[in-house]
Structure 1
Amino acid sequence: MSTTSAVANGDEESITNPLLPLRRSASNATSQVAIVGSNLCPIESLDYEIIENDFFKQDWRTSGKLQIFQYIFMKWTLCFFVGLIVSLIVFCNNLAVENLAGVKFVVTSNMMLANKYAAAFSVFAASNFGLTLFSCVITALVAPEAAGSGIPEVKAYLNGVDAPAIFSIRTLFVKIVGSITAVSASLHVGKAGPMVHIGACIAAIMGQGGSKKYWLTWKWLRYFKNDRDRRDLVTCGSAAGIAAAFRAPVGGVLFALEEMASWWRSALLWRTFFTTAIVAIVLRALIDVCLRGECGLFGKGGLIMYDVTSANVSYHLKDVPPTLLLGVIGGILGSLYNFLLSKVLRIYNLINEKGTACKILLACLISIITSCLLFGLPWLASCRTCPADASEPCPTIGRSGNYKKFQCSPGQYNDLASLFFNTNDDAIKNLFSKGTDSEFHASSIVIFFVTCFFLSIFSYGIVAPAGLFVPVILTGASYGRFIGMLVGSHSNLNHGLFAVLGSASLLGGSMRMTVSLCVIILELTNNLLLLPLIMLVLLVSKTVADAFNGNIYDLIMKLKGFPYLETHAEPYMRQLTVGDVVTGPLQLLHGVEKVRNIVHVLETTGHNGFPIIDESPRSEAPVLFGLVLRANLIVLLKKKAFLLDPVRTDIDAFKQFSAEDFGKKGLGRGDRIKDIELTEEEMEMFIDLHPFSNASPYTVVETMSLAKALTLFREVGLRHLLVIPKISGRSPVVGILTRHDFMPEHILGLHPLLVKSRWKKLRF
């Protein structure tokens, strides 16, 4: 029985046989592009492998104790500056948002007090529209890569995906300014996600190994001209971003470990913790300055810290069922949130493809709708009498507080306006506040929940820096408080604590993190006594949501087209060998190769790695020597390290080069083959590639299962994996596996019948 018929008939023998070896498609047309921010870009892979060749060994042997000390010292110094700069930028970001949004709300509220409702709405809507327009214009025209939260892009980078301009100076500037204006425009977007991208940008810029363009040519920086050290520094930067956003240094470290990093080790843990500790110290010092009233409207707000320390958290066994209910609801709503957001992003992508004008018009439309809802919906709520034992003035005097007067008479307040007519941070504080069980009506909470749920979905995909953390926290807090109202006296927990648990449940249901989210919530609420309940609600919500779909950032990465390598192989990969997916044609180079041949290969292919073969006197077939990178070939051509005769040079090759010559270029455009000018005489010369080739590349036999090869490829952090034949006598190399060869769309393009196979859906 053939393999095809075995699959069709469900024969048990097909479990041990490779699927569809005779029905392979002749070619695969999938492209290596992805949406970075809101811009469609070609992508490449990063190379985390240490290249071991004669030149590397020679350079390593000349490194003394001083050079080793410089290298270690620079690692820690860069982490210090990453933490310092990230904390300063995040503080200024919060300062700007609080003052921009604060002035807008103060002016609008004063007009409302004077019964100038039409003028108040005009000012409110116009300011939101202007801020949104500014954010979208600079994003669309200056740096489309800055759109969105940036977390999927950073996560893909740490997995080994290299996207152009993702960490450029231009992207950093737009991310900072665009995030400030988008959040100030009352859009239901957060700033925590952009802060992760900002931290990663700062780390990448500092760790690019120096730059003549920006006058960063200090010789110590040369140690970081490689992808491995940059990856570690970007991991520290992403942790610093979360630590600064939530004032949660330990949560930042765990977030980088659980969600962002694909490779982790104890040495990186130390440096990441050091970076977030610097963030915490600097922010604490800056907050003390603002508490003295020296930051305008920015005081206790801005930095997301919802203190519920003094709240009564004495809970008993009867409080467990409501907590479990919140977990189940959070899992269902979280998976629904992810599903709807993925559909909306697909629609937005179709709109964005029509041009820049359509991107900006879409954002402006969302801004107008948001302004109408935020200003109009509070009119549906009835005015409530101010409580006699209120802990703050009622109605609220100033910008923030639980008791917004809005259109009500003196001595009354509008509870829905207290949530809508505020920054997202202040709305969360109102929902988390203790001693306010009777100050919000159930209908107001329901209206607020439904509005937040859909506004956060439709606001995320616009061409502006926008995060998901804060909108998800706000949405979860609203239904958590509603559940607290339903439970009533049957629970010892107050409504504010139910709001905290609701936020945790929706975060777990949408983002599917457990440990890091638990610590972040504890740090931002400053209440360790909530730990058991938060752990329980996160575990339940994640378990329920995992039954429906994946976490939100993985879904967004798939939508954007990033070739992200998952931790576990798909089940059908166990039934395929590497020989089933490797494609050609394969370009080989000799150990001593003619310049003309090298130039021809570089000009006619887009490959970044080429196997090096040598003719062996002991064998009729050539033997594999190693692998040479495109970047190294371009350096050799640029330096014109040519030979008149095809002979090996060995140690003499080092005289013309330094280790810095073969370091990874910094941000911006690298050297290209078309920029190198060669004479006809030079084209007939030779280059000895042996000293500059990786003499010990990772190889696998063509009969190895694809699942096993994926594990090796991901765990080691490879860019190229050579496939060698099972039987000697043929070419020493069958092909090269790259990240693209492990992507489902590539495999299913080669083997279309796998789509109908039962192995596609099977989970081991």
Structure 2
Amino acid sequence: MVHTGSCIASLIGQGGSRKYHLTWRWLRYFKNDRDRRDLITCGAAAGVAAAFRAPVGGVLFALEEAASWWRSALLWRTFFTTAVVAIVLRGFIQLCSTGTCGLFGQGGLIMYDISAANVVYSTPDILAVILLGVIGGILGSLYNYLVDKVLRTYSIINERGAAVKILLVIMISLLTSICSYGLPWLATCIPCPADASTSCPNTDVSGNYKSFQCPPGHYNDLASLFLNTNDDAIRNLLSTNTVKEFHISSLFIFFVAVYCLGIITYGIAIPSGLFIPVILAGSCYGRLVGRLFEPISKLDVGLFSLLGAASFLGGTMRMTVSLCVILLELTNDLLMLPLVMLVLLISKTMGDMFNKGVYDQIVKLKGLPYMEAHPEPYMKHLIARDVVTGPLITFSGVEKVGNILHSLKNTGHNGFPVIDEPPFSDAPELCGLVLRSKLLVLLKGKAFSKDRVLAGNKVLRKISELDFAKAGSGKGLKLEDLDIQEEEWDMYVDLHPIANTSPYTVVETMSLAKAAVLFRELGLRHMCVVPKSQEVGL
């Protein structure tokens, strides 16, 4: 859902789809980098709010994980988005409450309500929670390590073509089916509890107490976990006042199976998700620890299951605030807030000692140019001048068409400094920054002149301002689309109307760590490094 929400937002930010006739004139107002980033951030928050019915958690997820830089305007935009999601979702749940929508209309905005449990804990419970956090962080870091290795293997396999991708999916599906239908045979039948709130054994499509070849009046606890949807399996594990519902051996078998299947399933050619499998494995691991601490603990095993999910999520995702709020919105139990906060902090700290979060590892594996929130330690010993690209390619304020075409053809730069020189200025000085995309639009419009003179606003009379808006992915002009005649190479074009005359600049002696922080927090794509000169003010 996070991916889906981000994709829809990206589609809107690119102006819709001309291929499928989904374009509207009002979408042109989003054709800039900042608004596109804001839309995708709102889309990710909407996905979390819809998937987990956690509107506030969606906002915090976007703040903690999705957005690389944050500001107050983006906060209320994501909050408004998730509020709309909550209202629309509530409306559909109410509409489908009659049963016409299948399983969609079941339940409300609280997916796993455990508020009925009595939250009482003592010193042994605190020690058990600390142990949960430590083991959860270790298991989470191991999970991330194995996912990274599996994804690297899958990337090599997937390069062999579509047939190999399909074959890999079939093999993983067969393995999952074998585990789901084979492992329940290892479990022994358990007599149905006399005070069960639902029918036992259960013959419905979903729910608890699956019979699975057991005699009347008995159920198979492993089948109740494997032969269910992930949501129902998590709900069964989080159930309170059901201490003896699952055997310790069954919980261990299910945890190992889900842990391993989650590792090998992520990365194949079908959407398999990462969040729900981690919650499922963590809930099982937490309930298992709760059963082991049952003689000395006052906490319900269902609450241990919640804490196990929190510890495993913290150990893999390395998020704290957003996960805490999402779990509390999912379970409707604010009394668990101190324990959830404690276990998340411990598991994240333990996981950070071994490797990075799973999302960070995936971004690195895909080779995406993502800047970390904090500069690397070595940056403190360098200055901005040490890392500038060279040789520097600049354009004059009024430049020859041939020079621009030559630079565009022989470099992959996306931005070029514009330098004013005499007679347009007393001495060479930085005039601004011009983007490759705008240069291509300007050259296609052929607003040329034979003399090296300032054209001013005459350029914008020939070319509409909307033509300079950021195009969608794969929709912008390319160098091959230009039709420049040989006699036009010696003509001039004025770059002042399309240049950003107030680019962000730093002096060459600035610490690289400071420059990196500025670059990330301001959401920049280019930063000009200028010579150290005499100060003009303070």
Q: TM-score, normalised by structure 1?
A: 0.67
Structure 1 residue 495, shift from structure 2 partner: 1.2
Q: Which of 458-467 and 214-223 deviates more? A: 214-223
Structure 1 626/299 Cα, relative in aligned 2: closer, same or farther at 3 Å? closer
| Cα pair 1:378 1:414 within 8 Å, conserved | yes
1:327 — aligned with what? 133
Q: Is 2:517 the partner of 1:711?
A: yes
The reply to whether residue 499 of structure 1 matches residue 305 of structure 2 is yes
Q: 1:467 aligns with which of 253, 259, 273?
A: 273
Determine the C-alpha separation between the residues in 2 that align with 1:216 and 1:432.
Answer: 43
1:536 CA displacement: 1.4
Is 1:602 paired with 2:418? no
Secondary structure of the equivalent of 1:624? Answer: strand
Amino acid of the structure 1 residue aligned with 2:273: G
Q: Is the 8 A contact 2:46 2:81 kept in 1?
A: yes
The equivalent of 1:582 in structure 2 is 388
Q: Work out which of the residue numbers 226, 239, 248 in structure 2 matches 1:433.
A: 239
SS of 2:102's partner is: coil
- Once residues 250 and 392 of structure 2 are traced to their aligned partners in structure 1, the CA distance between those partners, rounded to angstroms, is 65
- Mapped to 2, the partners of 1:264 and 1:585 lie a distance apart of 34
Change (3 A) 1:394 1:212: closer
Aligned match of 2:213 in 399, 404, 407? 407
Match of 1:452 in 2: 258
Displacement of 1:251 in angstroms is: 0.6
Quickly say closer, same or farther: Cα 1:332–1:694, change in 2 above 3 A: same
Distance (Å, rounded) in 2 between the aligned partners of 1:403 and 1:640: 74
Contact 2:444 2:482 in 1 (8 A): yes
Aligned equivalent of 1:545: 351
Preserved contact between residue 301 and residue 425 of structure 1 (Cα < 8 Å): no
Whole-angstrom CA distance in 1 between matches of 2:183 and 2:257: 9
3-state SS of paired residue (2:294): helix
Give the AA of the match of 1:693: A
Aligned residue type for 2:313: L
Query: Which residue in the other structure is 1:512 paired with?
Result: 318
What SS is found at the alignment partner of 1:384?
strand
* Partner residue, 1:252: 58
Residue 727 to residue 667, structure 1, CA distance change in 2 (3 Å)? closer
Give the match's secondary structure for 1:396: coil
Amino acid at match of 2:12: M
In the alignment, what sits opposite 2:203? 397
User: Do residues 682 (structure 1) and 465 (structure 2) align?
Assistant: no
User: 1:187 matched to which residue of 2?
Assistant: none
CA deviation vs aligned residue, 1:683-727 (integer Å, no higher than 9, x gap)? 332101122212222222333322122112112221112223348
TM-fit CA distance, 1:667: 4.1
TM-superposed CA distance for 1:622, in Å, is 3.5
What's the secondary structure of 1:456's corresponding residue? helix
TM-fit CA distance, 1:549: 1.3
Q: CA RMSD of the aligned region, Å? A: 2.1
Give the Cα separation in 1 of the matches to 2:414 and 2:108.
Answer: 46
Choose the corresponding residue for 1:529, options 330, 335, 352.
Answer: 335
The letter of the residue matching 1:371 is: S
Q: Write out per-residue CA displacement over residues 235-255 of structure 1, whole angstroms, 9 at most, x where no aligned residue.
A: 111100000000001110111
**SS of corresponding position for 1:488:** coil
Is 2:464 the counterpart of 1:658?
yes
Q: Which moved more, 1:607-616 or 1:550-559?
A: 607-616
Contact 2:230 2:280 in 1 (8 A): yes
Question: 2:190 matched to which residue of 1?
Answer: 384
Return the letter of the residue paired with 2:267: G
SS of 1:613's partner is strand
Aligned equivalents of 2:20 and 2:221: distance in 1? 52
User: In the alignment, residue 556 of structure 1 is paired with which amino acid?
Assistant: I
- Distance (whole Å) between structure 2 residues aligned to residue 550 and residue 456 of structure 1: 18
CA, structure 1 residues 367+218, in 2 after alignment: closer, same or farther (shift >3 Å)?
A: closer
Return closer, same or farther for 1:653/1:260 CA change in 2, 3 Å cut-off: same
Moved more, 638-647 or 350-359: 350-359
Give the Cα separation in 2 of the matches to 1:302 and 1:510.
28
Cα offsets for 1:738-760 (capped at 9, x unmatched): xxxxxxxxxxxxxxxxxxxxxxx
Q: Do 2:120 and 2:299's aligned partners in 1 also have CA atoms closer than 8 Å?
A: yes
Matches within 5 A, 1:628-639: 628-639=434-445
Counterpart of 1:368, as a letter, is L
Tell me, in whole angstroms, the C-alpha distance in 2 between the residues paired with 1:252 and 1:546.
23
For 1:587, give the aligned amino acid: I
**8 Å CA contact retained: 1:245, 1:303:** no
Relative to 1, partners in 2 of residues 1:397 and 1:213: Cα closer, same or farther, differing over 3 Å?
closer
Q: Distance in 1 between matches of 2:303 and 2:424?
A: 77
> In the superposition, relative to structure 1, how do residues 672 and 378 fare at CA in structure 2: closer, same or farther (>3 Å)?
same
Counterpart of 1:138? Answer: none
Match of 2:115 among 303, 309, 329: 309
Q: 1:287 aligns with which of 89, 93, 96?
A: 93
In the aligned structure 2, how far is the partner of 1:298 from the partner of 1:519?
Answer: 23
Q: TM-score, normalised by structure 2?
A: 0.94
Q: Which amino acid aligns with 1:358?
A: V
Q: Deviations over 1:61-109 (max 9, x none)?
A: xxxxxxxxxxxxxxxxxxxxxxxxxxxxxxxxxxxxxxxxxxxxxxxxx
Separation in 1 of the partners of 2:186 and 2:54?
Answer: 38
CA positional deviation for 1:214: 5.0
Extract unaligned runs of 5+ from structure 2: none
Q: 1:294 to 1:620 in 2, by over 3 A?
A: closer
Contact 2:2 2:45 in 1 (8 A): yes
Displacement of 1:299 in angstroms is 4.2
Q: Deviation at 1:314?
A: 2.9
- Counterpart code for 2:232: D
**2:207 is aligned with what amino acid?**
G
Q: For each residue in 1:574-625, what CA deviation from the matched residue of structure 2 results, as whole angstroms up to 9, or x when unmatched?
A: 1122232223232222211121222222222221111222323699973332
The answer for the alignment partner of 1:485 in structure 2 is: 291
Deviation at residue 219 of structure 1 after TM alignment: 4.0
Is the contact made by 1:210 and 1:222 (CA closer than 8 Å) also made in structure 2?
Answer: no
Equivalent position amino acid for 2:312 in 1: L
Q: Is the Cα–Cα contact under 8 Å of residues 50 and 85 in structure 2 kept in the other structure? A: yes
* Distance in 2, Cα, partners of 1:566 & 1:361: 37
Could you say which residue in structure 2 is the equivalent of 1:148?
none
Question: Which residue does 1:223 correspond to in 2?
Answer: 29
Per the TM alignment, residue 216 of structure 1 is displaced from its structure 2 partner at its CA by 5.4
Q: CA deviation at 1:451?
A: 0.7
Structure 2 vs 1, CA of residues 197 and 495 (structure 1 numbering), >3 Å: closer, same or farther?
same
1:618–1:458 Cα change, 3 Å: closer
Using the TM superposition, give the Cα deviation of residue 458 of structure 1 relative to its aligned residue in structure 2, in angstroms.
Answer: 0.6
Q: Is the 8 A contact 1:477 1:499 kept in 2?
A: yes
Which structure has more relative contact order (CA 8 Å, sep 6+)? It is 1
With over 3 angstroms needed to count, the CA separation of the structure-2 counterparts of 1:210 and 1:432, relative to structure 1, is: closer
TM-aligned CA deviation for residue 210 of structure 1:
5.7
Q: Which secondary structure state, in structure 2, belongs to the residue aligned with residue 489 of structure 1?
A: coil
Map 1:263-274; keep pairs closer than 5 Å.
Answer: 263-274=69-80
- The separation in 2 between residues aligned to 1:421 and 1:212, in whole angstroms, is 44
Match of 1:352 in 2: 158
Change (3 A) 1:467 1:217: closer
C-alpha deviations, 1:389-437, integer Å up to 9, x for none? 2221111121122211112122221111111111111111110112221
Shift of 1:281: 1.0
Whichever residue aligns with residue 625 of structure 1, its letter is C
Partner of 1:476: 282
Pair 619,401 (structure 1): closer, same or farther in 2 beyond 3 Å = closer
Find the aligned partners of 2:379 and 2:214 in 1 and give their Cα distance.
Answer: 65
Cα 1:355–1:487 change in 2 (3 A) is same
Give the residue type in structure 2 aligned to 1:551.
G
Judge conservation of contact 2:92–2:105 (CA < 8 Å) in 1. Answer: no
